[in-house]
Amino acid sequence: GAGKSTFFLNINGVLTPKSGKIIYKGKAITKKNLNELRKNIGIVFQDADNQIIASTVLAEVSFGPMNLKLPKDEVIKRVNEALDYMNI
């Protein structure tokens, strides 16, 4: 009720402010710098049923690195490291 979720959704670019701008580390958050910002700020939703978006573990774990616009080989490397770490 206090607007915490809305605040963080705006910071991460999931929502956009209707007016004004959001400043992070002295810079306005824009579509141009959103990918860089998302490397530092993530969101974990309260309802896990609404957070999982992919039909496979591989696709789900790949979602983050792919949205950082990393090269495909780097995405595969990071996903394999994460899955190995979790013994999956």
Q: What is the pLDDT of residues 9-36, one digit of tens each?
A: 888 888 888 899 888 888 888 888 887 8
pLDDT, tens only, 34-87:
878 887 777 777 776 766 777 888 998 998 888 888 999 999 999 999 999 999
Look at residue 81 in the predicted model and tell me its pLDDT: 96
pTM over 0.85: no
What is the model's pLDDT at position 82?
94
Q: What is the DSSP string of 7-68?
A: HHHHHTTSS--SSS--EETTEE--TTTHHHHHTT-----S-GGGT---SSHHHHHHHHHHHT
